[in-house]
Amino acid sequence: MILIISQKNDHSTSEVIQWLLYYKARFVRINRGDRLTLRSVSISGEQRCIFILLSKEHGEINLGDISTVWYRRGEIQFQIPNLQFMRNADLRRQIFQHLKNENKILEDYLQNLLYAIPHIGTYELRSINKLFVLDEARKLGIEIPDTSIVAEKKLIENSGKLITKCISEVFTPTAENGKFMTYTESVNITKLKSAFFPSLFQTLVEKEADVGCASSPKTAESSTGFSIICRTCCGTDSLNISSTSSTAPSSFPPGKNSVPAEWRTVPVYPNWLL
């Protein structure tokens, strides 16, 4: 059975699940915020560890039934019982912190067990430092865009086309009048203030296409088992997926026939994933 760790309303997870339904693969999805409690852990020298969870959403989840893990995002957290019956607020706070520490040991141990199972993505690498990646790519001789992080306009050395993006992750603040989202944006240096919070700037790299995941288009075999999304200058092309289709769901939306035929593929899942 496949264990998927994600969060509610994650569209990419839901799309992959449509493929799993199509291939009749067994899976369970745990979202950030799902109410989980530990039922039992058994560690002995004569057999593999037994780790059983109870989920209000999915019932009993036995780690022994999990053959593959896809860590998309989020985390697995165990519930702490309600301590409001305790009148002493200071004692209640101390006990809450102790139970939180107890759960943290269990959560870390669970992540360690999941790491030993064939997996895609890990909790430890849930947040990749872009600067680490750029530096490692540079050391390996891989071409990277000129990158700088500065707090003053006069320190921006590149006079060509620039883009800016978050140093960490996408920021999506919510206010009374709606939800906002940060994107990779082109930069007009003349409109920048003389000083600002340290911000990342990169040379704009012109591209013909943006491939969403690694795959071999000719054989339709993906190293990750996920469908291909090909973004071109004409727009975004993605696969229409239906869990009830009798044939492989590989058609593209109308008007997108300009995408090369070799991209119109159906992902073949590795045996270990199913």
Check whether residue 162 and residue 172 sit in a common domain.
yes
The least confident of 186-190, 192-196, 214-218 is 214-218
Domain end marker among 155, 182, 203:
203
- Coil vs helix vs strand at 141: coil
- SS3 of 223-257: CCCCCCCEEECCEEECCCCCCCCCCCCCCCCCCCC
* 50 located within any domain: yes
Which residues span the domain enclosing 255?
A: 205-274
Check whether residue 88 and residue 23 sit in a common domain.
yes
* 259 located within any domain: yes
Check whether residue 15 and residue 100 sit in a common domain.
yes
Check whether residue 272 and residue 175 sit in a common domain.
no
**pLDDT tens-digit profile of 126-184?**
777 889 889 999 999 998 888 989 998 888 876 678 889 888 887 878 888 888 888 88
pLDDT at residue 255 is higher than 50: no
Mean pLDDT throughout 8-18?
87
* 177 located within any domain: yes
What is the spatial order of strands in the sheet that 68-71 belongs to?
A: 27-31, 2-6, 68-71, 119-120
Check whether residue 11 and residue 93 sit in a common domain.
yes
Check whether residue 173 and residue 76 sit in a common domain.
no
Cα 226 to Cα 15: distance, rounded to the nearest angstrom: 9
The pLDDT value recorded for residue 4 is: 92
Considering only residues 11 and 47, tell me which one the structure prediction assigns the higher pLDDT: 11
Check whether residue 48 and residue 98 sit in a common domain.
yes
Within 10 A of 114 (CB to CB), how many other CB atoms are there? 19
Domain end marker among 187, 203, 219:
203
pTM above 0.95, yes or no: no
Total number of domains in the chain: 3
Q: Is residue 235 within 8 Å of 209, Cβ to Cβ?
A: no
* 10 located within any domain: yes
Check whether residue 156 and residue 60 sit in a common domain.
no
The pLDDT value recorded for residue 177 is: 82
Check whether residue 31 and residue 111 sit in a common domain.
yes
pLDDT at residue 63 is higher than 70: yes
* 9 located within any domain: yes
Check whether residue 179 and residue 226 sit in a common domain.
no
* 47 located within any domain: yes
